[in-house]
Amino acid sequence: MSNLIIDEGNTLCKAAIADNGVIVSQTAGADVDAALSQLLTSHYNINNIISISTRREKVELPDDLKTIPHTHLDAATKLPIKINYSTPQTLGRDRIAAAVGAQVLFPASNVLIIDVGTAITIDFLDRNGVYQGGAISPGPEMRAKALNTFTGKLPLVDVPDKSELAGKSTVEALQFGILNGIRFEIDGYISAYRAEMQDVKILITGGAAGIVCRADAVCEPNLVIIGMNRILEFCTKK
């Protein structure tokens, strides 16, 4: 049985095919059509589809896929985890999927999930499979654009993969300030959670995850897709 998974994010649309729980093919593009154009040439027999979108209410499927059962992940979707959140209808579907993916990778564990993308999200799933909420802050590009937009003279900079404590130019000061700020922020969250409980797994994902990956963490770029596939399996099991 093959599942088609579509994750329409703020920057890219990712699509993948999972066969018996294993991701066997994946691609990405600017939109759904671009992401699917290459993927669907793989000739897998797709039985079910699951999708999420941060751009719109629902993903619009191509006509040739509209006859296939389609689960759009929303607040009413059945989940293999519990959600302890006062406004579940506003909870990002990518955050839900990431938490489910964390449970797949680390069952019966406390997991701190760090997603570094357009925004940075810090989420916590406890060992009982209960999502306990988290935090949201600006991602690397958003910080760079804010410094450029809301000042008169600061340039727009790219965020590097490496930094030092002190920049020797205004460009470096901006680059290192953004990158170090993100790293120190994430270090602070990890330290705070570990101060409360020693047995916390650290799971990092997102398009910019590489700038914060560390030796004591697992970096999984497909975390959201893994979680979406698990949700689809949970919803369609007989």
Distance CA 143, CA 118 (A): 10
Q: Give the pair of three-digit tokens for residue 157.
A: 């900079």
Contacts of 16 (CB under 8 A, 6+ apart): 4, 5, 23, 25, 26, 27, 39, 222, 225, 229
**β-pairing verdict for 2-8 and 46-53:** parallel
DSSP 186: H
**Nearest CA to 207 among 110, 107, 125, 94?**
94
Q: Which residues are catalytic?
A: 94
* 155-160-166-167 Cα dihedral, nearest 10 degrees: -40
**Nearest CA to 143 among 92, 179, 110?**
179
Distance CA 154, CA 133 (A): 35
